[in-house]
Amino acid sequence: MFKTIRLTSKRVSLALTFFALSALLLGSCASSKKTVYFIDQQDAVLKSNNIPVKNVIQPNDILSISVTSLNPAATEIFNKPNNSYVSSSGANGSNLQSPGYLVNDEGNIQFPVLGDLKVTGMTTNELRIKITSELINRKLLVDPIVIIRQLNFKVSVLGEVSRPTVVNVPSEKISLLEALGLAGDITIYGKKDNVMIIREEDGVKKIKRINLNNSEIFTSDYYYLKSNDIVYVEANRAKVAGSTKSAIYVPIILSILSIVAIIATR
């Protein structure tokens, strides 16, 4: 009699375990079509009309400006360390100092000899031309070479990616696909057909949704990202449903299995 009860209890325990695993697996299933990039794209040669976007300088940007010429002594004054330092938090929690010209709220930088320069609304190349012209017209330097870089060019990748991160872009050029790759790619639970890009321009936030299941990204104006863009990948229904069901049913199933195990050992 006792052996029969024990055997029956073990079968019940195995059946419940199988049921629990099946429920979890079924709840996490996702359509394979929605996990593939560019499923509609055949071999083709596409005309690229999505040229890199112009990144204009905005308040709070940090600019690196270096000047060289055939006269190092005359050039030295334009390359002295400035007082525009910005603290940022490093990966290990330490504070880092980024030297550069901080664009103030009025859109100006304080440049040696030339004084206040209005820089907002300009690209780094336009500012390079402006500073070069000023140095030549004022007869401060002969044939100066001006190099300008935006030190705080970055994009944020959040949501259902392997490694949510802030990507620093020294080259000042990055595509949406590159940013996702640097974040470890979209996980199996991410919605590739509804990737959100949040962009702020002239104080206005713009939201664009991109479907990476088809090839529209290759001709989109959002193929290349701008500084401070935010890329957000939403979780699909399988992830949300799986998390909800797990939170509700797993504790119940574990409790039942515990009771059955106790009965089986008596």
In a domain, 244, yes or no: no
Number of domains in the chain: 3
In a domain, 261, yes or no: no
Please tell me the predicted confidence (pLDDT) of residue 246: 52
44 plus 164 within the same structural domain: yes
- Compute the distance between CA of residue 174 and CA of residue 217 in angstroms, rounded to an integer: 14
44 plus 66 within the same structural domain: no
Provide the CATH number for the domain around residue 229. Answer: 3.10.560.10
Express as a percent the part of the chain with pLDDT over 90.
Answer: 50
In a domain, 258, yes or no: no
Provide the CATH number for the domain around residue 95. Answer: 3.30.1950.10
46 plus 159 within the same structural domain: yes
93 plus 204 within the same structural domain: no
143 plus 69 within the same structural domain: yes
Please tell me the predicted confidence (pLDDT) of residue 216: 80
HSE-up of 236 (CA within 13 Å, CB side)?
A: 19
Please tell me the predicted confidence (pLDDT) of residue 89: 42
Give me the domain span that covers residue 39.
32-50+153-237
182 plus 206 within the same structural domain: yes
Residues of the chain with pLDDT under 50: 1-7, 26-30, 85-96, 245
- Compute the distance between CA of residue 242 and CA of residue 244 in angstroms, rounded to an integer: 5
Please tell me the predicted confidence (pLDDT) of residue 263: 59
pLDDT digits (tens, 9 = 90+) for 87-109: 444 434 444 455 789 999 999 99
The amino acid sitting at 241 is A
- Compute the distance between CA of residue 189 and CA of residue 163 in angstroms, rounded to an integer: 14
Cα-Cα-Cα-Cα dihedral of 197, 201, 206, 212, to 10°? -30
